[in-house]
Structure 1
Amino acid sequence: MRPLGWAARLHRGPPSRLLSALAADPFGDLPPLAARRVVVTGLGLVTPLGVGVAAVWQRLLAGATGVRRLQAEDLPEAHRAALPQLPCQVVACVPQDDLAAVPWAAQEDSRRTAKFMSYALTAAAEALQDAGWRPETLEQRQSTGVAIGAGMSCTTDMADAGVLIAEGKLRRLSPFFVPKTLVNMAAGAVSIAHGLQGPNHAVATACATGAHAVGDAFSMIRRGDADVMLAGGTESCIDAVALGGFCRLKALATRYNEEPAAASRPFDAGRDGFVMGEGAGVLVLEELEHALGRGARIYAEVRGYGMSGDAHHITQPPPDGIGAQLAMRRALSQAGLTPEQICYVNAHATSTPQGDDIEQRAIAAVFGEAATAAQPAPGSPLAVSSTKGATGHLLGAAGAVEAIFSVLALRDGVAPPTANLAAKDPPLLAGLVGPQARALPGDSPRAVLSNSFGFGGTNAALVFAAAPAR
């Protein structure tokens, strides 16, 4: 049996021995951890619905969709021969004309910069502009950090590199191959572009990436590692490798190739898989006093962040959704809120038969009558929607984009629609929002929750609340 460390051995003994050992610590007490309040002061979006927060939000509420038929031009040139072999012929791509039209868009050099990095740079530039934050002094730059993750980084470059090696052309491999495929390079590119010397962090937790990045940045500011953080997720892997791989998993929608706008249908009885999307979402998170001190506009307060693991299966959640339940309960606990104080949940629901069903059951378990009763007391049932019906599934960017949608829902008092929801399956949640946006119940102050789950059984939930009055 391996011997226990000194701390573990002391824990097994009487408390007085542990106290004596701590008192004898030659370094003294650890500094107290800060517990600062964190607010959202800037937002940036690159999505299949468009580029720029105002345009994307308007189109989402109007019932527009970014889902369309896959075209040869959507794939890298070397991958186009595989197009007829793909069972899924539906995608949600960023409209490149919209991207070219915004003045803050990053100028992509495809030799040096992967598209997931460019999307992050564009969303970060908008978020900083929106927040009115331009760190100029050394102190400001050192207290501003970046936490931007990706789920799959650049599968196109990896696939192309594999072909070169198989053909014996190793010397033709680009010297930028490694910098273009590292998951942390979006965060690195944003840090370099704006001279940000605070924490430089990148999380890769599949489809929970964006939410984990926002939550990690929130935690960093709370404990005093930074005053301001650019946080979010980014993804762009629409190529034959990623599409083919998800098709082999039978995760993608294949029933609606001739009717692409109907393919992404979270919570609907006709769903048969998700639609792959791309894009980026970046939020500026800021310590409350720092934001107030410079007169910043505050969208919302980040109140809670919950994480969990399913410990069940590499791609399937457990039937009881216990991991999702734990993440939501932990986020609510950290926020100091009860389920009854949440008026809207932005569900992860991707349009897969099993995942959407289990998430409904998890939400019902956490929120009880507020979610399931047709007329809970007081007021209307908890509003729940999935915006993936309009955007497709943005993989590593999804959690951040949906966190932004949740913040905007809170600001405007409106639950965005769930596109293509015609027949609820199962009809468990009374407040499922259909294809039309719905006003949120009650008056301010409001609080909302956003769910994100990923392969490997990783789960995250974020709670946003109305900005504290000052």
Structure 2
Amino acid sequence: MTAPVITSWSAVSPYGLGRGAFVAGVAAGRSAVSRPEDWPVPRQRVAPVPDFVTAEVLGRKGTRSMDRVSALAAAAADELLGADSRHREVATGERAALVLGTTAGSSTSMMDITRDTHTRSMPFHIDTPRIPNAIMNSPAAQCAIRHGLKGPNTTVAGGRVAGLFALRYSLRLLSSGHARSVLCGGVEELTQDRGWLEHLVGDPDRPTVLGEGCSLLLLEPAAPPDRPVLAEVIGVTLGVFREDGPDGALANCLSRTMARAGVTAADLWAVSPAVGQAEVRLDGHTPLPLPGAEAWGDAGAAAAPFQIASVLAAAERDPTARGRVAAVLSADRDNVLGCALFRIAKEPGSQHV
């Protein structure tokens, strides 16, 4: 393999903490969506990360003022970097980059600080330790500080497509030599503030099912000589679509990405479709459909990273995936879309989780 490769991954998802919980949930075909009795938003179902309490998951040191979105990202980084000593060696220190997709950071942190400026006795009497949380790049910065990531640290905004934006940016860092490895992914929090925002801007007759979490990939510029890999990234294409809907634009994006990568319909093993996208069929061939938002809700900036994780999870237990290609398609209501292609390794990669 000569293209950039994925050597490991982690997930903190509505299936639970850790990669193992995600793999088990995908394998069982289980939905993590529920309707909690105490959820205040009308008619809205949600898929939260279960039993996620920051101090219990990450410890109390350095987490007192950490908001939920930063804690989710830190937990995913903890899992990936703690899974194997080599991961920490490769993915920390100088020229170890982190690229994290987001929608708009933490809506709750932004709204809390804005509310404080109106309700405190003076506008500047706000809870100052929470100010960094209101900045969009806070999760990426806190992960870098926590783990000693001293290379490029980047936050990319793009809603559901943010994970593919982050992947494209990561490939540029590797190809230009600005990083020797990249932790790449996306994170989204599920809070009441986000729930109300989505409720007010969405279709009241089709309430959004919201999810949350974080998934990270460990990307390296080429296959290491002493280490199996999971997949290589053979193409990422980003674009826009018109108001008439993304289906046609997504099909065209997939075709263009496959043509550039030299991939035929017969090479395509599986597809993770965008939210609401119909079944993908190419030249009479229907690739294996993989689970998406119907299983873990609309995870916002974590949506595409969860889709990539579902590709890797499914490939672990499907021998027909070896050496073949999987596609991840994504589209956001702000008229951006993307497609990424991954060639699954011919031999299963060994993981220590």
- The TM-score, its normalising length taken from structure 1, stands at 0.67
Matched, 1:135 2:89: yes
Q: Which residue of 1 aligns with 2:156?
A: 203
In the alignment, which of 295, 303, 326 is matched to residue 448 of structure 1? Answer: 326
Distance 1:443 1:89 in 2: 36
Distance 1:446 1:159 in 2: 46
- Map Cα deviations across residues 239-259 of structure 1 (whole Å, 9 max, x no partner): 1x322222223347x7xxxxx
The answer to whether the 8 Å contact 1:306/1:329 transfers is no
Q: Which residue of 2 aligns with 1:164?
A: 116
The Cα shift of 1:121 comes to: 1.0
Matched, 1:284 2:218: yes
Alpha-carbon spacing, 1:94–1:106, altered in 2? closer, same or farther (3 Å): farther
Alpha-carbon spacing, 1:156–1:449, altered in 2? closer, same or farther (3 Å): same
Q: Which residue of 2 aligns with 1:88?
A: 43
Matched, 1:343 2:269: yes
- Map Cα deviations across residues 148-199 of structure 1 (whole Å, 9 max, x no partner): 1211321112222232223354233122343102221211112222212222
Distance 1:334 1:71 in 2: 49
The answer to whether the 8 Å contact 2:14/2:213 transfers is yes
In the alignment, which of 147, 151, 161 is matched to residue 194 of structure 1? Answer: 147
- Map Cα deviations across residues 36-86 of structure 1 (whole Å, 9 max, x no partner): 6211111111111111111221122213332112343x6xxxxxxxx2xx3
The answer to whether the 8 Å contact 2:322/2:345 transfers is no
Alpha-carbon spacing, 1:57–1:100, altered in 2? closer, same or farther (3 Å): farther
Tell me the amino acid that sits aligned with residue 121 of structure 1: A
The answer to whether the 8 Å contact 1:106/1:121 transfers is no
Matched, 1:247 2:199: yes
CA-based RMSD of the aligned residues comes to 2.8
Matched, 1:306 2:242: no
Identity value in percent: 22
Distance 1:55 1:319 in 2: 34
The Cα shift of 1:223 comes to: 3.1
Q: Which has the higher contact order (CA 8 A, sep 6+)?
A: 2
Q: Which residue of 2 aligns with 1:155?
A: 107
Unmatched tracts of structure 1, length 5 or more: 1-34, 75-82, 255-271, 350-355, 372-381, 414-439
The Cα shift of 1:111 comes to: 4.8
Tell me the amino acid that sits aligned with residue 28 of structure 2: A
Matched, 1:38 2:4: yes
- The TM-score, its normalising length taken from structure 2, stands at 0.87
Q: Which residue of 2 aligns with 1:370?
A: 285
Distance 2:7 2:272 in 1: 20
Matched, 1:465 2:346: no
Distance 1:384 1:226 in 2: 34
The answer to whether the 8 Å contact 1:128/1:134 transfers is yes
Q: Which residue of 2 aligns with 1:145?
A: 97
In the alignment, which of 57, 70, 81 is matched to residue 23 of structure 2? Answer: 57
Alpha-carbon spacing, 1:47–1:320, altered in 2? closer, same or farther (3 Å): closer
Point out the structure with the larger strand share. 2
The Cα shift of 1:389 comes to: 1.8
Larger Rg: 1
Distance 1:45 1:70 in 2: 23
The Cα shift of 1:287 comes to: 1.9
Secondary structure of the structure 2 residue equivalent to 1:121: helix
Matched, 1:121 2:36: no
In the alignment, which of 165, 170, 193 is matched to residue 212 of structure 1? Answer: 165
Alpha-carbon spacing, 1:344–1:190, altered in 2? closer, same or farther (3 Å): same
Distance 2:54 2:68 in 1: 12
Unmatched tracts of structure 2, length 5 or more: 348-353
In the alignment, which of 196, 208, 220 is matched to residue 274 of structure 1? Answer: 208
**Map 1:220-231 → 2, pairs under 5 A:** 220-231=173-184
The Cα shift of 1:452 comes to: 1.6
Distance 2:90 2:285 in 1: 47
The Cα shift of 1:321 comes to: 2.7
Secondary structure of the structure 1 residue equivalent to 2:345: coil
Alpha-carbon spacing, 1:62–1:345, altered in 2? closer, same or farther (3 Å): same
Give the count of matched residue pairs. Answer: 345
Secondary structure of the structure 2 residue equivalent to 1:464: strand
Alpha-carbon spacing, 1:113–1:99, altered in 2? closer, same or farther (3 Å): closer
The answer to whether the 8 Å contact 2:54/2:68 transfers is no
